[in-house]
A and B are shown apart, each in its own frame.
Chain A
Amino acid sequence: MSRVLERLSTAILEGDKDKAARLVERALDQGVPAKEILDNGLMPGMDEVGARFRRGDMFVPEVIMSADAMQAGLDLLRPHLVAGGVELVGKIVMGTVKGDLHDIGKNLVDMMCEGAGFEIVDLGFNVPPEAFVEAIKEHKPDIVGMSAMLTTTMRAMGYTIKAIEEAGLRDRVKIMVGGAPVDAEFAKRIGADGYGSNAATAVELAKQLISAN
């Protein structure tokens, strides 16, 4: 039984999407509980990916392949987890703020967070404050993530937080921000709960924000 989970971890590490999906199916067939497949198969693989990335032993394209493999496994697992009443790590509503069409940084964070087991609702780019507010009402996320690439659009993060406050939703979510011109001081000034300097630290931050809840 643990042999299949071990191989699953390896498939994640290797970024082999098809193999990961096959192994999740095999584990389910063998009667391994979904929660155990997640905790002892998918997650250890992804944790190792994170560790290797931080050490400089893995590069972004490889991490993305691993995140895709993780996602493929998770897609098969999700119905079983839901049926068993198991909660995923957490849910994040993500978007690049109004006026900004830059997508890649936010997409990287999406992929890395999905890889770490978060459920992502991606609102895309050029997302107005109202759309963030609506998404919070609809999806009830644990975290709202905002990205901006331009010094001109980073202010829209502050406006979005204000809109979330005015809608009375601020204490229901943690807010994290990131993007090239953003720094920790700016994040604090606009009232965000955290700032990630890159996609890898964003994942760590999201985990911290969840555990602080």
Chain B
Amino acid sequence: MRRTNYRTYAGTRFQMLSRDQLQALFDGVLHTLEYTGLEVHHEEAREILKEAGAWVEGLHVRIPPYLVKRSLQMAPRSFTIFARDGNPKHDIHIGPGRAHFGPGPTPPNFIDVETLERRPYVRADAEIVAKVCDALPNIDFVESLGTVSDVHHELAATYEFATMFPNTSKPIVAWSYGRDDAEDIHRIAVAEAGGQEAFERRPNYVHYCEPLSPLVSTFEAMDKLIFAARHRVPVIFTPCPLAGGTAPITAAGIIIQAAAESWMGLVVAQAISPGLPFFMGGVLSVMDMSAMILSYGAPELSLMMAGITELAHFVGLPLWQTGGCTDSKTLDEQAALEGALSVFFSALSAGDLCHDVGYTESGLTGSIFQTAMMDEAIGYSRRITRGIEVNDDTLAVEAIHNVGPNGHYLREPHTHRYYKTEFWYPNLCDRHNFEEWDMMGRTRMRDRVIARVRDILATHRPAPIKPETEETIQRVLEEAEARVAEHA
């Protein structure tokens, strides 16, 4: 049966801001970039900006609206980040209505998977995080959840990537201190892709840059961005403003400032490399006015992130979302509540890459247990946001007729057609009856999360990298060690 003028919605709709409100935010960002401007602590970046049409006075850079709009137009809304091993299930297709999830970068501490104690993050943890993320069905990209502390401090990012890369074929969001280690990382990724040209056709990682709030593009952030743009590495440019501290206290105000900070990177990236995939940031949350921390569990985080996601999509950019994180110090009810709600909200807003899944202690401690618990919350959220499919078959009028009063549906072909796809089946949430639960040792969520992580570590084998990539990694690490030995 054909229908005419019949509208369908795929997924659960969620829209917080009207077009007029979004236009008001957009105008605010343009105004800020045109009249207030930013400090850009990078000479080459300032030259690139000037050349592109920005107004540069000393460190100070202001950008005319036409240049911002042109840069927005050049950046793609839809593109693909490819799995290093060609496994299409691990590709990430960025585009409207698609929310992806993964951990975050650089906390100094990690929850030890054996002792469950908080301690400094070490190189071996990068392998653990990569392997577990590789196995978790709802984690789409990988970050390390820590800063490697047991290698030469300038090489933390190089070792982190070199350790993660062989242990997952899901795309990695790489983090580095500066240009040297960004280059180390790129050499490894390019070796696996089969050369720079092959990499450009099928980019297999994303680079992460973080400017400073309020309104500063630091040297490191710009230097990394320029390297990424020159080598066609999809890039994230994400500030971390604190509402009430380093940004306006209102949600609308912090969104405007964060967007201005991020778009300075956008303009540079598009000037160097038109069409470069660019993720707008950043992490927007509140400075708790008692505890004086950046809260990773505040409802305002989800609210502000949904707002900036809508602004990003309004202007045609993908967004670097945040969720699955908590201020809790341990794997407890607070961690589950804050993490799950932000994951759900993030899924609703369909922010494109949602990171920090596994941040605890307000971003100071990475926990792969939190990531694993949130994998369940993401699956749960994805089932809801997939929405209700309405067609002649799902309407089930015929099945209802067949079963009739007081029958049952278990034997119906209709049931057999849908029972695997219409329901979400939990991995961690317990649905046994009391007696079964009792017999199985009365486990709590926490126990099941820990068991699952340890089980993955004992059994999961990620797809291997090419032998030549192994060699490249060896060489990159040796040359990096030589480089820092020379500096010393």
Contact = CB atoms under 8 A, between A and B. Distances in A.
Interface string A44-59: 0000000001001001
Interface in A76-105: 101-102, 104
A60 B290 CA distance: 6
A155 interface: yes
Interface string B279-295: 00000000101111110
Nearest to B146: A151
Contacts of A181: 108, 364
A112 to B, nearest CB: 10
A180 B150 CA distance: 20
A28 interface: no
A61 B216 contact: no
B290 A151 contact: no
A152 interface: yes
Interface in B371-420: none
A43 to B, nearest CB: 23
Given A60-B289, A152-B177, A198-B292, A104 B244 contact: no
Interface residues of A, number: 17
Contacts of B153: 152, 155
A102 B212 contact: yes
A4 interface: no
A198 B245 contact: no
B218 interface: yes
Contacts of B246: 104
A101 B294 CA distance: 17
A160 to B, nearest CB: 16
A53 B108 CA distance: 28
Given A151-B106, A151-B147, A180 B212 contact: no
Contacts of A69: none
A155 B156 CA distance: 13
Most buried by A among B108, B244, B287, B294: B108
Contacts of B293: 180, 198
A101 B216 contact: yes
Interface in A172-213: 180-181, 198-200
B147 A59 contact: no
Contacts of B291: 198
A59 B286 CA distance: 13
Nearest to A185: B120
Interface string B215-255: 01010000000000000000000000010111000000000
A101 B289 contact: no
A60 B364 contact: no
A99 to B, nearest CB: 9
B245 A101 contact: no
B212 A59 contact: no
B108 A151 contact: yes
A61 B292 contact: no
A135 interface: no
A61 B292 CA distance: 11
Contacts of A104: 242, 245-246
A32 interface: no
Contacts of B177: 152
A108 interface: yes
Nearest to A155: B153
Most buried by A among B242, B246, B290: B290
A56 B290 contact: yes
Contacts of A101: 41, 212, 216, 218
A15 to B, nearest CB: 14
A198 B362 CA distance: 14
9 contacts: A53-B290, A59-B289, A60-B289, A101-B41, A108-B292, A151-B106, A151-B147, A155-B153, A180-B364
Interface of A: 53, 56, 59-61, 101-102, 104, 108, 151-152, 155, 180-181, 198-200
Interface of B: 41, 106, 108, 147, 153, 177, 212, 216, 218, 242, 244-246, 287, 289-294, 364
Rank and list the top 9 A-B pairs by shortest CB-CB distance, nearest first. Answer: A59-B289, A151-B147, A60-B289, A198-B292, A181-B108, A56-B290, A151-B108, A104-B245, A101-B212
